[in-house]
A and B are shown apart, each in its own frame.
Chain A
Amino acid sequence: MAKYIIKRIILMPVTLLLAALFIFMMVSISKTDPVLNMLPQEYTQEQYDALEHELGLDQPMLVQYVKWIGHAFTGDFGTSYSTRNSVWNEIGFRIPTSAVLSLVTTVLIVIIGTVLGILCAVHQYSWIDNVINVFSKMLSAIPNFWIAMIFMLVFAMKMRVFPMFGTGTVLHWVLPVITLALPGLAGHVRITRSSMLDCIRQDYIRTARSKGEKESVVIYREALKNAMMPLITMTGNRFAMTIGSAVVVERVFALPGLGTKVLDAINAMDVPVILACTTVLCAIYIVVMLIVDLAYMFVDPRVKGRFVKAKKNKVAA
């Protein structure tokens, strides 16, 4: 098992490097010339060449990539084309905003979604199950940014209960978090429900019932414990999806996060900032997925057993 964990941890930076290469290639095919954008209206060829050389854009793409990775490892993501500041100074302080937003949202989704999902499964086909089902179907068809706009219109503009833009107080976070949570919540409820239903139909539940256990013990101790396993993996996926959708929600509510920055950078074709923001988002994603995978291994004895058994067989051979 230790071998598997080490392998996963070594593979992680490799995956990140390749993911960064993919993003680098995609951004590099752009036809917009950043050098032209930065030069004044009237310029000489010498000025052009000098700036191109300064930015390192006269070299082949792979060389640029290797250099960029080398610097990125030391925490130097280059200089922003549009502000001429160090990229790290531009985005470093934004990482906590995005991370907190996604994290709080994911925790909320998991807690509320699991409770509602269990409710649905335990009372399958009752009115509460139907109501939650219809709502979750509706929610998964509504675009995030539309919920954000309607919330803003109703709660911030008309009722003035919550502030519209920016951060500062806890109240500023309420609308963005709810907006971000609703679609994810819909998915989580459906998965919890089906996972619980699977477990409730198992033989060991019938055994527990026939032994005369209380219904609450059967549901919460026997079924829930087993239904939790796939939910752990889903939690990782949910966090990853939330990080993606957060880009748009941050933009609508003007939160100073990575998402707002990356969209501005794309509009200005500020390549170093685009690369840094997307790579940081990928890094967060990859680390979370790794943690989830490892957690899964420790929690589920069946998965753990697979590795222990494999080891024993090897010794015997």
Chain B
Amino acid sequence: MNVQTMKKRGQFAEVWGRLRKNKLAMISLSVLLLICMAAIFADLIANYNNIVIKQNGAERLMAPCAQHWFGTDEFGRDIFARIIHGARMALLMGFGATIISVAAGLILACVASYFGGVVDMVIMRVMDVLNSVPALVISLAICSGLGAGTWQLIVALSVAGIPIHTRMIRSNALGVMGNEYIEAAKSQGASTASVIFSHMVPNIASIIIIQITSTVATNILMGATLSFIGLGVKPPRPEWGLMLSSGTDYMLKNPHMVIFPGIAIILTALSVNTFGDCLRDAFDPKLKGKA
């Protein structure tokens, strides 16, 4: 490959090239894609109304067998089918809430660093206040105000993440603001939105992607936790944290009820985390081996 073609490759093509050589990245990406496929085609694997939420008294608390791979729960529902459908909730909480909170953080951070002065101060002070409340307490307050439910849970997870994203993105956006191309765009009469979206955002894209991948697993774990304590997804909807919570009462005689949903959570969080780490290394090879 000569110098000319190397220069033509964009940042993302180069990152992908580095990722493809990393075995760990490819393994975790495959696992993640498998989980995504399970979530997308969940209805083909098991019917929601007839298998996932329909109670079946005759098959209560069955141990794993050929018919029910992961056994059945206290209502006779197939745990394997519920885990497959639960992947939808996990991915929705993980990616949905993360994308909302990073997008909100991105807008706040860009506005703060673009206008500076009073606007910056007000936004950052509000973030400081939110930052002085532990994330779980923010989620608890929002969940108790909005009540338990799926969209409420996503709002709670999203708001809890905003302060940290705003801070992180702002510090990078401030660095970009000092560049001459921003000044050039401004002096050519580019609108505020155009400066922010076509000049600032592309230059902090790598930070944004890293922020997203490093938060997805946290949100999956946090969502499962909130559902576990009864503040998130409501039954009979299958959700991994909720399945663990109902398994608590039966776990001595039926450990399969708490083992399989737990493994599902860990596998998802681990593959997201591992892929995120590899992605960060690929974006900035200098950082490799650190934190």
Given contacts A19-B129, A143-B225, A145-B225, contact A191 B140 (CB under 8 A): no
A285:B134 contact, CB within 8 angstroms = yes
Specify which of B130, B134, B136, B255 lies most central, judged by the most chain A CB atoms within 10 Å of its CB: B134
Interface residues on B, range: 35 or more
CB-CB under 8 A from B258, the residues of chain A are: 146, 149-150, 153
Within residues 238 to 291 of chain B, which ones have a CB less than 8 A from any CB in chain A? Answer: 241, 244, 247-248, 251-252, 255, 258, 262, 265-266, 269-270, 273-274, 277, 289-291
CB-CB under 8 A from B266, the residues of chain A are: 138, 141-143, 146
Given contacts A146-B258, A153-B252, A191-B291, contact A23 B137 (CB under 8 A): yes
B229:A263 contact, CB within 8 angstroms = yes
B194 interface residue per 8 A CB criterion:
no
A2 interface residue per 8 A CB criterion:
no
Specify which of B136, B230, B274, B277 lies most central, judged by the most chain A CB atoms within 10 Å of its CB: B136
Who on chain A is nearest to B136 by CB?
A244
Who on chain A is nearest to B253 by CB?
A157
B134:A244 contact, CB within 8 angstroms = yes
How far is it, in angstroms, between the C-alpha of A263 and the C-alpha of B226 when the chains are bound?
10
How far is it, in angstroms, between the C-alpha of A278 and the C-alpha of B144 when the chains are bound?
12
Q: Mark B192-235, 1 if CB is under 8 A from A, else 0.
A: 00000000000000000000000001000100110011110000
Give which listed residue, B133, B134, B138, B228, contacts A248 with CB less than 8 A.
Answer: B228
Who on chain A is nearest to B221 by CB?
A143
A317 interface residue per 8 A CB criterion:
no
Specify which of B142, B221, B251, B252 lies most central, judged by the most chain A CB atoms within 10 Å of its CB: B221
Interface residues on A, range: 35 or more
A243 interface residue per 8 A CB criterion:
yes
How far is it, in angstroms, between the C-alpha of A252 and the C-alpha of B224 when the chains are bound?
14
B142:A149 contact, CB within 8 angstroms = no
Given contacts A16-B132, A26-B144, contact A190 B251 (CB under 8 A): no
Within residues 252 to 294 of chain A, which ones have a CB less than 8 A from any CB in chain B? Answer: 252, 262-263, 266-267, 269, 274, 278, 281-282, 285-286, 289
How far is it, in angstroms, between the C-alpha of A124 and the C-alpha of B288 when the chains are bound?
13
Give the secondary structure class of A's interface. Answer: helix
Give which listed residue, B134, B144, B290, contacts A194 with CB less than 8 A.
Answer: B290
Given contacts A150-B262, A197-B290, A285-B134, contact A22 B129 (CB under 8 A): yes
A177 interface residue per 8 A CB criterion:
no
Give the distance to chain A from B45, nearest Cβ to Cβ, in Å.
24
9 example contacts (A-B, Cβ-Cβ < 8 A) are as follows: A22-B138, A30-B146, A141-B269, A142-B265, A191-B291, A194-B290, A244-B134, A252-B248, A278-B133
Sample of 15 further A-B pairs with CB below 8 A, known A32-B147, A197-B290, A269-B144: A31-B147, A138-B266, A138-B270, A143-B221, A144-B225, A145-B228, A149-B258, A152-B251, A153-B255, A157-B251, A194-B291, A244-B134, A247-B136, A248-B228, A282-B132
The 7 closest A-B CB pairs, nearest first, are A244-B136, A141-B269, A244-B134, A141-B270, A26-B141, A194-B291, A26-B145
